[in-house]
Structures are given as structure tokens and as C-alpha cells.
Amino acid sequence: MSHDTNATGQTPPAAQARVIGSLQVPQAAELRGDLARIAQWVQPQTRVLDLGCGDGTLLAHLKRTKDVQGIGVEISDERVLTCVQRGVHVIQQNLEDGLAMFDDQQFDIVVLSQTLQSMHNTEHLLREMTRVGREAIVSFPNFGYWPHGWSILSGRMPVTGQMPYDWHDTPNIHLCTLKDFERLAHKLGFSILERATFNAKREVKFLAGWRSTLAAYRFTADPQQLALRRS
């Protein structure tokens, strides 16, 4: 018997997908730990831009639970299609091309989840996030997680759950620790409002720099820095 059918031969509700026209709408997915915390940081009925939005899981959740006005940016054809199926407004574009299509302070929050480490123009993108949004949120793998150091001492680049790629095929080109990001935020004139760190879905607070595999930050730009950029 197929795993998608029950003893009566019928498809159980959890495995069913609604059909709109010729599109099957994916079922709501359980949020990752960082996305669940990001969702907590987003206020109801706000404007949210999700950069590298993937399959639209976060924006679909925010639209359903907090009535946000959300737009995603994604480059993958398959993921863009999934966003459309979920009813998520999405723009297909490479983030390396910047955010020039958006106006200053057009959004309340701009999100970049687990994508920062794969960007070439890191500083420019972070500045653009604080230009188009009143607040910004990023999440990224923590390279300071202690098994990573042990792996390097053993002579190999680390391969873990948050960083599952071998050195020769990884998309991650700018790995950092918590202190690395905080130093960059200070350099760019950002004020960090909140930080959350995780190991799997469990939040880590004690010795987070060593014990967490993933970090999420909510921050904003100093108004004087924004004024200087516009002058």
C-alpha cells in the first residue's frame, strides 16, 4: 500500500493538497527554529520583504497568522513557482544585483535568512536592507560552533547540519562567528536590537558563541548613517 493512503485506500487530509486551476498548493510547512523566532519579531499588519525567500514558507506563515503584506525575492525557478502556488508575491531576481527597485523605507522589516553567508557583496546588501526597511533581520550559520574548530584542528574543513557541504562544492563563501557579525554591524553603524541563537530547534543562551549552530539578529541603522548615505 502506498504511504500516501490509509487503510481505506483514501488519501489522508495531511497528505492532500488543494488545487487552484492546474497548480497544487503545498501544505503549510513547520517553521525552522530561526524562522519561528523571526516570525515572533514581526508585528501584525506590517510590510515585510523576504530576500532569498526560498519556497515562501515564512511569508505564507506571516500572511496567514499576522496579516502582513509580504514580498519575496528569489532566483530559483522551482522555488518561485512554489511561492506562487502558496499565494506569495515574489520577484525573481539575483540578490547580487541589489535592491534598487525598492524605495527608501518601503518596508517595516527586511529579512535575509540563511543566505548572508553565500553573498559576495555582503556590506552593500546589509546597507541596502537598512535603506529599504525600518528594521532588518538576518540569520546565518555560526562558524564559531565548537565542533567546527575541532574539525579544523583535525585537518579537515567542518561538515555539519547547518554547513552540510564539502569545501569544494559549498555555496558558503563568507562564513562568520557571532562576534564577526557584531563587529561588522558596529562598523556599518547598525544598532542590534535582539539576538537569538540555536542548536537545532533548541535556543542556546549559555556560551552561545561556542554552543550554537545558527544565529539570528534584528537590527536597525543609525539615522545619521542613513542621512549620510542619502547626502
Q: Mapping DSSP to helix (H, G, I), strand (E, B) and coil, where does residue 70 land?
A: strand
Whether 179 shows a pLDDT value over 80: the answer reads yes
Q: Name the DSSP letter for residue 96.
A: G
Conformational region of residue 26, where left means phi above 0, alpha means psi within -120 to 50, and beta covers everything else: beta
**What's phi and psi for 200, nearest 5 deg?**
60, -130
User: What is the total residue count of the chain?
Assistant: 231
Q: Are 143 and 201 in contact (CB under 8 A)?
A: no
Please choose, from the candidates 113, 69, 120, 81, the residue with its C-alpha nearest in 3D space to the C-alpha of residue 98: 120
pLDDT digits (tens, 9 = 90+) for 92-137: 999 988 899 999 999 999 999 988 877 888 999 999 999 999 999 9
pLDDT classification of 155: cutoffs 50, 70, 90: low
Instruction: Give the CA distances from residue 191 to residues 43, 153, 218, in Å, rounded to whole numbers and listed in that order.
Output: 19, 35, 9
Cell numbers at residue 118, please? 553565500
According to DSSP, the residues that pair with 169 across neighbouring strands are none
pLDDT classification of 2: cutoffs 50, 70, 90: very low
Alpha helices in 108-214 (DSSP H): 122-132, 146-153, 178-187, 208-211
Query: What whole-number distance in Å separates Cα of residue 143 and Cα of residue 166?
Result: 14
Tally: H helices and E strands in the chain: 8, 10
Whether 19 shows a pLDDT value over 80: the answer reads no
Query: What whole-number distance in Å separates Cα of residue 62 and Cα of residue 55?
Result: 14
According to DSSP, the residues that pair with 217 across neighbouring strands are 138, 195
Architecture in CATH for domain 26-230: 3-Layer(aba) Sandwich (3.40)
Q: What is the pTM of this model?
A: 0.78
Domain assignments of the chain as residue spans, ordered by start = 26-230
Cell numbers at residue 189, please? 553603524
Instruction: Give the CA distances from residue 19 to residues 82, 88, 192, in Å, rounded to whole numbers and listed in that order.
Output: 13, 16, 43
Whether 81 shows a pLDDT value over 90: the answer reads yes
